[in-house]
Chain A
Amino acid sequence: MAGAASSPSRDWALAVPLAVLFALFFIAPLGLLVSISFQTERQMTGALGLGQYAAFLTDDLNLAVLRDTLLVGVKATILCLLFGYPLAWLCTRVSARWQAALIFLIVLPIVTSVVVRTFAWIVILGRRGILNEAILALGLSAQPLRLLFSETGVVIVLAQVQMPLMVLPLITAIQRIDPNLESASQALGAGAWRTFFKVTLPLSLPGIIAGTILTYTACVTAFVTQSLIGGSRLLYMPMMIFQQAMDLQNWPFAAAVSVIFMASVLLIVALLIALSRSRAARPYG
């Protein structure tokens, strides 16, 4: 591409419009967010300090919200992995036609509106929802279970809603594994389970990490699902930011909460990436 005339500087020009847009409306707002989080007064009088952070970090209730948010993400991600892995594995074992059909089915939820999907779960999990009627009809419980507005419900729905983000990278990773390795393992007398745990699973680790990063960040920030399924009694970080910012108009505190939340998410992503790097160095470890 680098013709004598198209110097590097001209190639660069093409990225400038988007870079300017991001500088103005992505970097600048995030910078503003950070700087407002240091305003100690709610009225933003200009007094600077760590007051808002202190206020958040010294209140056990706030810390519980942060912990619950991060944990609900962990639980939903684990659920996604446990159920998504076999599905991804299946996708790599079927004919091309079936694979296309399955991938279509997996991708469909991503593009379908989250509000729509969450709405469906309200109908399914409600007190008189499909699941409870089935449970009552089968006599598994005498009373309808509280599925909606419970953490269990939130975890289940988050897992379903974000499942594709886990399955798609897994499919890519499993497909990359040389099928000869698995045949070799079986030929050496290892059974299906042993082959899976010794060969397939370790070699698909990059996919697991990629899927985990995508799923986890999507789960902890899934505002719509968290608030529709969790209801007003379960409070998670995104809702807390929204309430502080819009209902209480406490921008400095909301900004501090946002920064703490973003930092926690980025920290976890960074840890996962570091884990994948250290693993990538010894793929057979």
Chain B
Amino acid sequence: MSQSAGHALTLRSISHAFGAVVAANGIDLDIRPGELVSLLGPSGCGKTTLLKIIAGFLRQTSGDVLVDGASISHLPTHQRRIGIVFQNYALFPHMSVAQNIAYGPVAAGWPKAEVAAVVTEMLDVVQMAAFRDRLPRELSGGQQQRVALARCLAIRPRILLLDEPFSALDKNLRLDMQIEIKRLQRQSGITTVMVTHDQEEALGMSDRIAVLSRGNLEQFASPSDIYDRPDSLFVNTFVGTANLLKGEIAGLSPSGAVVRLADGSLIETGRATQLVPGARVLVPVRPEGLRVSADGADGALAADVTAVMPIGPSFIYEVALADGTPVKVVQERDETAPLSGPVFLHIKPNRISGLFADLPDDTQKKGN
């Protein structure tokens, strides 16, 4: 599959409006050859719209789509050589597995021998050779997805698009298919854009993630940056579970800031901030950046346990701070930590990467 490897995909200030609804607002993305990029965001944020624009099903209101630096915006779908796997797979119900896979090559007028060869090759790639004469309705969800993938790879697409590829699969199968697709993508080196609203899927599979919110690109970065160094309060809350502690800036240092929390305790944050002393801020801490214990060492916050859920090897705590702010904590099973009553909350070192200004809801902005 070497021909299909390594095409760069660029979106240049793509905007799209459905009447008054702005589904994409000046989106810029530079996707490197061979990368697997996820478009992540809540329902209605414009993920499918972007995918449709790349595939050519929708014509953007403005902006440009480029493959290897050349604009493809003027090309109709069938001349773009961009493969797409649909959420419901969209296998042709009246054609066998083999006919489905042969569909693109036949439409392109390949010689019979080549069509037969690519069908056999693709069936092997997705390990479906035994099912070549079945109809789609005689296949399981996972098998249908393999066929959809094979059908799309058969045309040697320059870019591969996946629209919520795993949402129709049950949980166990989902992990298998995620690994499988990741493996195929690595093997072929095909540039891939995947739409998902499942953050774990995005974090686990992607080279980079583009987080979208209401048609805007919030952050485009590697999974670890997205998780550990979110650019905005939106990204912070949307990806992973976020605890937000209210406070105000007590002092600034070259490497960060000192924040005074509601109960008067002081904590240090890692990143420099443009906020001024006295500004009201939100301090984001992930549940695994916290620890609950019975003894209150220096800088620990007093809290009350509201609920504990043992999940496999770990406990999930929900505790309430003195001012009532609920906080979630994940930690390993620890027999010494109390399961109820007053406890102390410790913030592990270097777990606070930034600060967000505490503004009224609509005007939340990043405040690093």
Q: Is A2 within 8 A of B58, CB to CB?
A: yes
B225 CB to closest chain A CB, in angstroms?
Answer: 34
**Is B309 close to A, CB under 8 A?**
no
List of B residues within 8 angstroms of A6 by Cβ:
76
Q: Is the interface of A mostly helix, strand, loop or mixed?
A: loop
**Is A16 close to B, CB under 8 A?**
no
**Is A4 close to B, CB under 8 A?**
yes
List of B residues within 8 angstroms of A4 by Cβ:
56, 59, 73-77
Interface size of A in residues (CB-CB distance below 8 Å):
6
**Is A3 close to B, CB under 8 A?**
yes
List of B residues within 8 angstroms of A2 by Cβ:
57-59
Q: Is the interface of B mostly helix, strand, loop or mixed?
A: loop
**Is A14 close to B, CB under 8 A?**
no
List of A residues within 8 angstroms of B77 by Cβ:
3-5
List of A residues within 8 angstroms of B73 by Cβ:
4
A-B contact count (CB 8 A): 20
* Smallest Cβ-Cβ distance to A5: which chain B residue: B76
Bound state CA distance, A3 and B77, in angstroms? Answer: 6
**Is B78 close to A, CB under 8 A?**
yes
Interface string of B40-81 (1 = CB under 8 A from A): 000000000000000011110000000000000111111000
Bound state CA distance, A6 and B59, in angstroms? Answer: 10
* Smallest Cβ-Cβ distance to A6: which chain B residue: B76
Range, interface on chain B: 10 to 19
B343 CB to closest chain A CB, in angstroms?
Answer: 48
Interface string of A1-22 (1 = CB under 8 A from B): 1111110000000000000000
List of A residues within 8 angstroms of B76 by Cβ:
3-6
List of A residues within 8 angstroms of B58 by Cβ:
2
A7 CB to closest chain B CB, in angstroms?
Answer: 9
Bound state CA distance, A6 and B57, in angstroms? Answer: 10
Bound state CA distance, A5 and B79, in angstroms? Answer: 10
Bound state CA distance, A6 and B56, in angstroms? Answer: 11
A44 CB to closest chain B CB, in angstroms?
Answer: 52
B129-179 residues at the A interface, CB under 8 angstroms: none
List of B residues within 8 angstroms of A5 by Cβ:
75-77
Bound state CA distance, A3 and B57, in angstroms? Answer: 5
* Smallest Cβ-Cβ distance to B53: which chain A residue: A4
Bound state CA distance, A153 and B316, in angstroms? Answer: 81
Bound state CA distance, A174 and B59, in angstroms? Answer: 43
List of B residues within 8 angstroms of A1 by Cβ:
57
Interface string of B74-103 (1 = CB under 8 A from A): 111110000000000000000000000000
Bound state CA distance, A1 and B76, in angstroms? Answer: 11
A218 CB to closest chain B CB, in angstroms?
Answer: 36
A92-149 residues at the B interface, CB under 8 angstroms: none
Bound state CA distance, A4 and B59, in angstroms? Answer: 5
Most chain B Cβ neighbours within 10 Å, of A1, A2, A4: A4
B50 CB to closest chain A CB, in angstroms?
Answer: 15
Most chain B Cβ neighbours within 10 Å, of A1, A2, A6: A2
A40 CB to closest chain B CB, in angstroms?
Answer: 52
Q: What 7 A-B pairs have minimum CB-CB distances, sorted nearest first?
A: A5-B76, A3-B77, A3-B76, A4-B59, A4-B56, A4-B76, A3-B56
Binding site for B on A (CB under 8 A): 1-6
6 contacts between A and B (CB under 8 A): A2-B58, A3-B77, A4-B73, A5-B75, A5-B77, A6-B76
